[in-house]
Amino acid sequence: MSLSFDPAAIDCPVGHHIGGRLVAAEPELAVRRPSDGVAQAGCPVADVAVVDRAVAAANAALKASRWGEVRPRERVRALHAFADLIEREATMLGRLESVVSTRPIAQSIAGDVAVTAEQIRFFAEFADKEGGDLVPTGSDRLGMIDSEPYGVVGAITPWNFPVSMAGWKLGPALAAGNAVLLKPSEMTPFSALMLAELSVRAGIPAGLVNVVLGDGPTTGNAITGHPGIAKVSFTGSTVAGAAIMANVARTGIKPMTLELGGKSPQIVFADADLDLAADCIARGILANAGQVCVAGSRVIAAAGIADALLDRLLARFAAIAPGATWDEGTNFSPIISQRQLGRITGIVEAAVDAGADIVTGGRPLDRDGSFYAPTILTAVTPQSPAVTEEIFGPVLTLQAFAEEEEALALADHPTYGLCAGLYTRDFSRAMRTSRRLQAGTVWINRYGRSTDHILPTGGYKGSGIGKDLGREAYRANRRTKSVLIDL
Ligand code: NAD
């Protein structure tokens, strides 16, 4: 059966999901399809009163269901049922995801939705396996570290992988015994609403998963500043992360994890397998048209092999199949909005004004919707805006180096430290350079996350605080209590 679908036939839910049901709300923002610019549906904007209502529903559900106190195996079972239902409804969930996002339908269904179900299973399994600790004290005492859920976790997610980002937040927060109030991006709100509905159908107590729609300044601020939100979990830009820190500081102290932007380098040493490196680099910048936090957008190649690498990259860049996200054959995504397309165009023009050469691309694609041509820029200095800015588009810079030390200096970004890639056959060099890279993740002879969800993800420097995925994400959703008993 073909995965292609007619976007006009997709009925998007409009409202907030509060207390286990969809609560109708007036749409205030248009949600446009990036593939053709057509307005698909509207997005309401929850204000403080709506957020209040969702927090109250979450607290009432926690109390009534005793979700954080029940035998943890019950949470495991409910979350497995949730994951199973996500898989069973993959077609509809994938369509709601793809219709207004940049995710091609084939990738949504086989990739994003499938991974979301797996991640929920992965986190479910922590619920009855990850516990506290008995710690060494004097023999006349018993010291232990107990742990408990926070209560209501406020989660805010970006538009670039809507369903899987929601999964990153829901999985660990629910497994750890919390309720969640999730705000997806106002540009891609519909798949999160369906996830909330599926959670109820799967038997997760109504009110534990609430989804409110809206923008950052109104709804996002209302969530992060709400006294009933015990913990904030955010994925998005570094600028918004800083605004959230400021708002949390203004309105009361609470813990937060922040997964923020990146401008990740990929170093190709002279002894690298160039075909492998070109495959990984092309995938690392063409996936989702570069609209990926971990996009490996800065290639730093040994001078002797830079031309040979460039030839290989050009061949791979020519093989893209741009198209509407609802066509099964599409493998190259549109840019999320005309505004973002204008931003990419502006940064590339500024880089050219500052001396960069365009090897390929350097302009929007001549077709409906908002598509930007895969682009490679050379002759860039470390100060070039193409090297310093997170472009969030299919734009690669190529810089050459003579010595390892120079490669490491070029790789270091003043603001970001999310990921880095290394290509070499020399194990010692791989480990030596990996240890010197200022990045929360280093991929060696590969690029991009795997399905090894046990590996945490998160940034150094302005790329974030704390981790998603891995044991760390589960632990971040519980707080510890030290208990000391005199015997
Ligand atoms: P964004 O920061 O503009 O928006 C992200 C979310 O935050 C949206 O839901 C938005 O409505 C909300 N928001 C915006 N301002 C807010 C505020 N002041 N208070 C509360 N909420 C606010 O980011 P985006 O454009 O949706 O996504 C792209 C960015 O996300 C890129 O910078 C990318 O690198 C980053 N990202 C990071 C990761 C990671 O794992 N580190 C993963 C995906 C995306």
Are 317 and 204 found together in one domain?
Answer: no
Are 180 and 289 found together in one domain?
Answer: no
Tokens encoding 202: 């799967």
Please indicate whether residue 156, judged by its CB atom, sits closer than 6 Å to ligand 1: yes
pTM, entire model: 0.97
144 has which bridge partners?
134, 483
Please indicate whether residue 240, judged by its CB atom, sits closer than 6 Å to ligand 1: yes
458, part of any domain: no
Are 157 and 224 found together in one domain?
Answer: yes
Distance 390 CA to ligand 1 centre (A): 13
Q: Give alpha helix (H) positions in 148-237.
A: 162-175, 190-201, 221-224
Number of independent structural domains in the chain: 2
Separation of CA 341 from chain center:
20
pLDDT of amino acid 1 = 85
First to last CA, the chain: 68
Please indicate whether residue 251, judged by its CB atom, sits closer than 6 Å to ligand 1: no
pLDDT of amino acid 424 = 98
Are 231 and 274 found together in one domain?
Answer: no
Q: Which amino acid residue places its CA nearest to atom 9 of ligand 1? A: 185
Are 64 and 150 found together in one domain?
Answer: yes
- Distant-in-sequence, close-in-space partners of 165: CB < 8 Å, separation ≥ 6: 157, 158, 184, 235
pLDDT of amino acid 281 = 98
Q: What is the rounded CA–CA span in Å between residue 282 and residue 375? A: 11
Q: What is the rounded CA–CA span in Å between residue 50 and residue 431? A: 51
Are 324 and 193 found together in one domain?
Answer: no
247, part of any domain: yes
Distance 236 CA to ligand 1 centre (A): 2
Are 323 and 376 found together in one domain?
Answer: yes
1, part of any domain: no
Nearest C-alpha neighbor of 240 from the set 185, 287, 193, 286: 185
Could you tell me if 291 and 257 are in contact, meaning their C-beta atoms sit under 8 angstroms apart? no
CATH for 233: 3.40.605.10
Residue 136 CA neighbour count, 13 Å, CB half: 0
Are 57 and 179 found together in one domain?
Answer: yes
Please indicate whether residue 245, judged by its CB atom, sits closer than 6 Å to ligand 1: no
Distance 231 CA to ligand 1 centre (A): 17
pLDDT of amino acid 278 = 98
347, part of any domain: yes
Q: What is the rounded CA–CA span in Å between residue 105 and residue 224? A: 32
> Domain span at residue 315?
265-452
302 has which bridge partners?
401
Q: Give alpha helix (H) positions in 23-113.
A: 48-65, 72-88, 90-100, 105-107
Nearest C-alpha neighbor of 34 from the set 103, 93, 96: 103
23, part of any domain: yes
pLDDT of amino acid 319 = 94
161, part of any domain: yes
Are 271 and 300 found together in one domain?
Answer: yes
Give the count of beta carbons closer than 10 Å to the beta carbon of residue 321: 10
Tokens encoding 308: 């040979």
Instruction: State the catalytic residues.
Output: 259, 293
- Give the pLDDT means over successive 10-residue stretches in the chain (487 positions): 96 97 98 97 98 98 97 97 98 98 98 98 97 96 98 98 98 98 98 98 98 98 98 98 98 96 98 98 98 98 98 97 97 98 98 98 95 98 98 98 98 98 98 98 97 97 98 97 98
User: What are φ and ψ of residue 6, in 5° steps?
Assistant: -95, 115
pLDDT of amino acid 171 = 98
CATH for 291: 3.40.309.10
Are 333 and 353 found together in one domain?
Answer: yes
Q: Which amino acid residue places its CA nearest to atom 30 of ligand 1? A: 236
457, part of any domain: no
Could you tell me if 160 and 293 are in contact, meaning their C-beta atoms sit under 8 angstroms apart? yes
pLDDT of amino acid 367 = 92
Distance 237 CA to ligand 1 centre (A): 4
pLDDT of amino acid 408 = 98
Task: Tally helices (H) and strands (E) across the chain.
Answer: 16, 22
Q: What is the rounded CA–CA span in Å between residue 350 and residue 384? A: 8
208, part of any domain: yes
